[in-house]
């Protein structure tokens, strides 16, 4: 017998009490489920790269999932995310009678609470140890910023992290100020001159979604210091959050 469970967007989904066949359309949640209750996973996107040995059916990308492949897997739950997945695909899956639970994450505390609801109430898996560890690491007040940073996410055209994003909140909790944090857009386009400035302490060049490398990214800058870093540690909520503070500080030397 199913019971209504309200997801992060307020949608009351009819879910099985303990789902046994789960398809994840969110790379960070795929990693989290694989680390906690791997036997539940039957499908994931091509972008679900952690763990590296994940052996489930791939259902294409986050923005263009193979809906037929998902239906063939006969899942009793699909997990999606407001930012990473399209509302159209969520609606089409629901129209075929497939329960979809949608997460919505824009802050670190919100991510931790969302994950606790997912594992405790939806997957009936309890609160995993890594989630306790992530709370211990990230709980507490936001520190006063001591470093001015920009976070590039694309080039040609250049794009950066703007306002109201999970990554922006991660940056703030590291004690850094995102110089584009008050931009009206979440991921604005900017000119290179807006990034390559003397008043920015460091421009972060993560390896996703654009794969910045030592030979692709830093060479464009003549004034601002750049630092290559893990995009997963900046953008994934789940087990990747454990140890991320130290690793990100070390990557920028701050």
Q: Which helix (H) or strand (E) holds 132?
A: helix 129-138
Nearby residues of 146 by Cβ (< 8 Å), 6 or more positions away: 175, 176, 254
Determine the pLDDT at residue 250. 95
pLDDT in tens for each of the 254 residues of the chain?
456 789 999 999 778 778 999 999 999 999 999 999 999 999 999 999 999 999 999 999 999 999 999 999 999 999 999 999 999 999 999 999 999 999 999 999 999 999 999 999 999 999 999 999 999 999 889 999 999 999 999 999 999 999 999 999 999 999 999 999 999 999 999 999 999 999 999 999 999 999 999 999 999 999 999 999 999 999 999 999 999 999 999 998 86
Determine the pLDDT at residue 3. 61
The architecture of the domain spanning 147-252 is 3-Layer(aba) Sandwich (3.40)
The architecture of the domain spanning 3-137 is 3-Layer(aba) Sandwich (3.40)
Sequence ranges of the domains in the chain:
3-137, 147-252
Q: How many CB atoms lie within 10 A of CB 37?
A: 18
Are domains 3-137 and 147-252 of this chain identical in fold? Answer: yes
Rounded Cα gap, residues 21 and 147, in angstroms:
45
pTM: 0.94
């Amino acid at each position: 017998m199913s019971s209504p469970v309200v997801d992060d967007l307020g949608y009351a989904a009819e879910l099985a009490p303990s789902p046994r066949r789960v398809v994840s359309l969110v790379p960070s949640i795929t990693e989290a489920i694989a680390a906690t209750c791997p036997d539940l996973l039957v499908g994931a996107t091509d972008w679900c790269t952690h763990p590296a040995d994940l052996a489930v059916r791939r259902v294409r990308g986050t923005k263009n999932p193979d809906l037929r492949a998902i239906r063939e897997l006969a899942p009793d739950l699909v997990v999606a995310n407001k930012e990473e997945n399209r509302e159209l695909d969520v609606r089409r899956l629901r129209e075929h009678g497939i329960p979809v639970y949608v997460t919505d994450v824009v802050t670190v505390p919100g991510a931790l609470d969302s994950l606790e609801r997912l594992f405790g109430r939806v997957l009936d898996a309890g609160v995993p140890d890594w989630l306790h560890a992530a709370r211990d690491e990230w709980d507490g007040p936001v520190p006063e910023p001591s470093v001015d940073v920009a976070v590039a996410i694309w080039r040609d055209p250049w794009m950066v992290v703007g306002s109201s994003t999970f990554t922006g909140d991660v940056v703030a909790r590291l004690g850094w100020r995102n110089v584009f944090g008050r931009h009206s857009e979440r991921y604005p386009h900017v000119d290179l001159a807006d990034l390559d400035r003397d008043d920015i302490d460091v421009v972060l060049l993560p390896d996703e979604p654009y794969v910045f490398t030592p030979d692709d990214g830093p060479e464009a800058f003549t004034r601002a210091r750049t630092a290559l870093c893990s995009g997963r540690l900046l953008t994934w909520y789940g087990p990747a959050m454990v140890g991320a503070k130290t690793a990100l500080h070390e990557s920028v030397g701050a």
